[in-house]
Amino acid sequence: MQNVNLIDTFLEFKELKSIDRATMMRVLEDVFRSVLRKHYGGDEHFDIIINIDKGDFEIWRNREVVPDDELEDEFTQIRLSEAKKIDDDYEEGEEVTDEVTIEDFGRRAILSIRQNLTSRIMELEKENTFGKYKDRIGEIISGEVYQVWKREILIVDDEGNELILPRDEQISSDYFRKGDTVRAVVVKVEFKNNNPFIILSRTAPAFLERLFELEVPEIFDGLITIKKIVRMPGERAKVAVESYDDRIDPVGACVGMKGARIHGIVRELRNENIDVINYTNNIQLYITRALSPAKITSIKINEDTKKADVYLEPDQVSLAIGKNGSNIKLAGQLTGYEIDVYRELGDDDEDVDLEEFSDEIDSWIIDILKGVGCDTAKSVLQIPKDELMSRTDLEEETVDDLIKIFTAEFE
């Protein structure tokens, strides 16, 4: 009965944890051989037969028949008189094989076997989980929210493995409750406190890339390649794509008919604004496309310093910069160039460079204004007060003083 109980316990682990047959056999045999070595001083004279399908096992001990007065090792030898009790035909020098039952080890040994077996299975499961997810870094995983904490969320996959989605790997507008289904990409797998620690992310560029592969067959098939992705998770993203087939429009394929393909991705990313652009080796054209939807008048490139001065009509400056500077920041990350935007002045325009006000305005304030695309007095005045405060993060009193100074210049 003890045999059956032990095997049943093992089969339960096998069913729940999907441990392969060969590993089951090896672990069970190792556990019993460990007990044999402890109980008999060795295991080389024992044969262990395991029948996983029937749920039982047998242990057979092999001993050499020796004369009664020549017994030296009771574990490997048996007296002739005792051998004849088993079978009267046994003679000296022959090998006697008899079965050892689990009850022969005693109650403590049986409990030790159970504990050892459980421990080995748990270790194997940890190793299997680690190996499985180590090979899945960069893949999208779906799971169910099991627990929500302040700094992270515990997610359970279909096999019961525990996954972690930290707060800083979540989109700012993400909100999950227990029982919700979550999709995220595996970004890190490591052992922590002797347990596999699987980290997921919804903010990594790889998550957006995998979503495009799921939604756009041409990307999955390799007809369209994603050259680079940059993101401000939950706000904006830029994706540079290239097609190796002239007959395929990579941007059109990614967006889909009436935006059908990209809408699913946008919803998954909590309405993140996604700009898909054609990749090109022509850096001027690449920067122009990266700053979309703004229309560029001209660009001056310095390849040595990796800087680009972009000139636009006054009404295009705010588009180039974007909300909270998101558009120009992502364009710079996408192209690898530091981008500065300037208003294109007409012949009749009278304006004053911000540097001319250095005696009235602190240099750090001038730098902030330039950082949001304002390099002249009129470019500042053209921006509504509330928007200027939002974009520069300056206090209302400071903004009022700036408007007063610049307005006085043209009166």
Which pLDDT score, from 0 to 100, does residue 74 have?
75
**Does residue 5 surpass a pLDDT of 60?**
no
Alpha carbon of 13 to those of 49, 96, 196: distances in Å? 20, 36, 18
Tell me: do 186 and 255 sit in the same domain.
Answer: no
| Residue showing tokens 């556990």 | 31
Q: Kindly state the percentage of the chain with pLDDT values over 90.
A: 42
Tell me: do 262 and 142 sit in the same domain.
Answer: no
| Higher per-residue pLDDT: 244 or 113 | 244
Tell me: do 274 and 370 sit in the same domain.
Answer: no
| Higher per-residue pLDDT: 124 or 4 | 124
Q: Please tell me the number of Cα atoms within 13 Å of 254 on its side-chain side.
A: 28
Full residue range of the structural domain in which residue 235 is found: 217-279
Domain boundary among 131, 149, 181: 131
Q: Residue type for 175, please? A: Y
DSSP string covering 124-166: HHHHHHHHHHHTTTT-EEEEEEEEE-SSEEEEE-TT--EEEEE
Which pLDDT score, from 0 to 100, does residue 1 have?
40
| Residue showing tokens 């588009």 | 319
* 55 domain residue, yes or no: yes
Q: How far apart are CA 205 and CA 143, in angstroms?
A: 20
Tell me: do 38 and 100 sit in the same domain.
Answer: yes
Tell me: do 191 and 232 sit in the same domain.
Answer: no
| Higher per-residue pLDDT: 122 or 56 | 122
| 25-60 pLDDT per residue, tens | 777 778 888 878 877 777 788 888 777 666 567 788
Output the pTM of the full model.
0.68
| 265-315 pLDDT per residue, tens | 999 999 999 999 999 999 999 999 999 889 999 999 999 999 999 988 877
**Beta bridge pairs of residue 181:** 144
3-state SS string for 18-58: CCCHHHHHHHHHHHHHHHHHHHHCCCCCEEEEEECCCCEEE
Q: What is the mean pLDDT of residues 123-148?
A: 90
DSSP strand E in 157-235: where?
A: 162-166, 181-192, 195-201, 224-232
